[in-house]
Structure 1
């Protein structure tokens, strides 16, 4: 099958959306499908306000239409809600072509955190954007519930995976500071809540790996921590293997691919009991979730690295990509440029392995004490 993916998130960005799309394309091509991408690299762009590393394509409508018609895909997937996604959506609606979309990040929560815009306003936009799609793919059951609560009823589950050959337990000592070493990896931005980690009173040392708009201010405020920029995957794997606990302070992430990378490297996780960590860890003993993040960090030091790796092995990109493929809605006889009615839903391909689906849908929490368990039950 010829599959066209349209995304506003692409290189040189380094984030979970880009890694997800790259890994999905690789697996789909390994299955024998032909995959093409429409990305900002093909267009004139301007930096996104407050996020200069995100590039917004200028007036992409005509070129997006020509690219879709030239490739003549069997299925169209719109990965993001930016200018390219809007252009592809507009063309598909005009031509009555079926398409799927994806919801990768908790965009309304990010907008509220940065600009104070009410959640209902942004979810109203998401309802408008994703409403005509045959399916909107979301990464966790909790996010599915969020979307449905705001009237987006065509949401389906598309989980994530990890490269178990790159991120693997290994002997490494590239972080030459005092143990225990507590590590954060990801964008350094206000919605990631990195300061909650840096402000903790912990033994040993702290490391932050990544870049973002909040980095300069946090380095100035917490000079006792150690900072690295964006790393390649092999470099990052060695960093994970050198640390003792992976700390995930975000309260707004939909999934958190870095959680799987850390676990695959044998690194236990400490996090809040919120969406993302709950969906990745479930009731696994590979991490500790607690409203007291310091308590979670100290408890996670007791977890064996083999336990973390064993949990990560339940996730694979092949299973996630099979799930993605099953949700696609191929065109009927109509092709871009010819008009025609939307296709009826395709017969799904075999679903992801049951173990992967069960892991993705797990919602149990491993609290550090009974109060945390009771508090989570009330959420």
Structure 2
């Protein structure tokens, strides 16, 4: 099957959306499918207001239309709600072509934090955008419940996973020098990630932050004792996870939090708030600690045996998530198709 994935988030950005799409495409290609990406590469772009690391494509519709009509994909998945996603959605609606979308980020909460725009306005726009899709895919049951409470009627679960071959406990464990214990955050350095809640904690040992974003300069000035890294490739990232005593996830707005699974796959326990994302990723396992008091969660996580998070992460092999993704596409290509075990055979044939 020829699959087109349209995304406004793409390399050189390094984030959960990009990694999710990369891993999914790799599995689909391994199963014999042809996957093409339509990304901001090749388009004139401008920096996103308040977040210059993200580039927005300018007036992309004509090129998007030409790309799709030349490619002639059998399935179209729109991963983001940006200019490319909106252009692809417009083409699909004009041509009466069914498509799927995904809800990767709590967009309304992000916008409210940055602009003060009421949540009701953003959710109304999202209902319109995703309402035209056959399925809007979400990573967890909690996010599904949240969107359905906001009036979404086409929500489908697409669980995420972790690449257990890239992220594992064996390898370098001294990538983060400093007085132990070592507390690590990985991800965007932005207001919605609630990093102040972590960096302001009075914790023993040292703190490390890996990532870039619009809040980085301010935070580096306010917390000069913190150790800062930029964007890491997968090898460096795995070494960082293995070297950390605890992975700290202070965000209260993420829909999932792929970095938590990556850390656990490397044997690093997680400390987080009991909110959407951690509630689904950590659950009732012993692989991490969720507390309203983030410092308490960090200290409790220090005593977790490192074999525990790895064992737990092994339940989240990425292939299972890719099978779920493919099943929703197959339901569009073959209306009335059976559960995934049968549609996968059809798709590979």
1:195/1:251 Cα in 2 relative to 1: closer, same or farther (>3 Å)? same
Q: Secondary structure at the match of 1:314?
A: helix
For the pair 1:115 / 2:115, whether they are aligned, the reply is yes
Q: Answer yes or no: is the 8 Å Cα contact 1:23–1:317 preserved in 2.
A: yes
Q: Distance in 1 between matches of 2:233 and 2:262?
A: 13
Hey, what does 1:264 align to over in structure 2? Answer: 265
Q: How does 1:181-192 map to 2 (within 5 A)?
A: 181-192=182-193
Q: Answer yes or no: is the 8 Å Cα contact 1:245–1:297 preserved in 2.
A: yes
Q: Distance in 2 between matches of 1:203 and 1:216?
A: 24
Q: How does 1:301-340 map to 2 (within 5 A)?
A: 301-328=302-329
Hey, what does 2:347 align to over in structure 1? Answer: none
Hey, what does 1:213 align to over in structure 2? Answer: 214
Q: Answer yes or no: is the 8 Å Cα contact 1:100–1:329 preserved in 2.
A: no
Q: Distance in 2 between matches of 1:195 and 1:274?
A: 17
Q: Distance in 1 between matches of 2:13 and 2:86?
A: 20
Hey, what does 2:202 align to over in structure 1? Answer: 201
Q: Distance in 1 between matches of 2:214 and 2:284?
A: 34
Q: How does 1:352-371 map to 2 (within 5 A)?
A: none
Q: Distance in 1 between matches of 2:324 and 2:154?
A: 16
Q: Distance in 2 between matches of 1:13 and 1:51?
A: 12
Q: What is the CA-CA distance between 1:163 and the residue it aligns to?
A: 1.1
1:348/1:87 Cα in 2 relative to 1: closer, same or farther (>3 Å)? farther
Give the TM-score, by structure 1 length.
0.88
For the pair 1:350 / 2:347, whether they are aligned, the reply is no
Q: Distance in 2 between matches of 1:112 and 1:199?
A: 23
Q: Answer yes or no: is the 8 Å Cα contact 1:74–1:331 preserved in 2.
A: no
> 1:286-330, CA deviations, whole angstroms, 9 ceiling, x for partnerless residues?
000000000000000010000010011000111100000011156
Q: How does 1:1-379 map to 2 (within 5 A)?
A: 1-170=1-170, 171-328=172-329, 344-350=335-341
Q: Answer yes or no: is the 8 Å Cα contact 1:79–1:102 preserved in 2.
A: yes
Q: Secondary structure at the match of 1:47?
A: strand
> 1:141-160, CA deviations, whole angstroms, 9 ceiling, x for partnerless residues?
11111111111110110011
Q: Distance in 2 between matches of 1:84 and 1:115?
A: 23
Q: What is the CA-CA distance between 1:346 and the residue it aligns to?
A: 3.9
Q: Secondary structure at the match of 1:24?
A: helix
Q: Answer yes or no: is the 8 Å Cα contact 1:76–1:330 preserved in 2.
A: no
1:230/1:105 Cα in 2 relative to 1: closer, same or farther (>3 Å)? same
Q: Distance in 2 between matches of 1:288 and 1:74?
A: 44
Hey, what does 1:363 align to over in structure 2? Answer: none
Q: Distance in 2 between matches of 1:155 and 1:87?
A: 22
Q: Distance in 1 between matches of 2:223 and 2:123?
A: 35
Q: Distance in 1 between matches of 2:338 and 2:121?
A: 36
Q: Secondary structure at the match of 2:26?
A: helix
Q: Distance in 1 between matches of 2:224 and 2:274?
A: 28
Q: Answer yes or no: is the 8 Å Cα contact 1:134–1:329 preserved in 2.
A: no
Give the TM-score, by structure 2 length.
0.95
Q: Distance in 1 between matches of 2:91 and 2:177?
A: 53
Q: What is the CA-CA distance between 1:344 and the residue it aligns to?
A: 3.4
Cα root mean square deviation, aligned: 1.3
Q: Distance in 2 between matches of 1:131 and 1:326?
A: 19
Q: What is the CA-CA distance between 1:331 and the residue it aligns to?
A: 6.2
> 1:121-147, CA deviations, whole angstroms, 9 ceiling, x for partnerless residues?
000000000111100001111111111
Q: Secondary structure at the match of 1:56?
A: strand
Q: Answer yes or no: is the 8 Å Cα contact 1:270–1:287 preserved in 2.
A: yes
Q: Answer yes or no: is the 8 Å Cα contact 1:187–1:210 preserved in 2.
A: yes
Q: Distance in 1 between matches of 2:240 and 2:56?
A: 32
Q: What is the CA-CA distance between 1:71 and the residue it aligns to?
A: 1.0
1:18/1:60 Cα in 2 relative to 1: closer, same or farther (>3 Å)? same
Structure 2: runs of 5+ lacking an equivalent: 343-349
Structure 1: runs of 5+ lacking an equivalent: 333-342, 352-379
The count of aligned residue pairs is 341
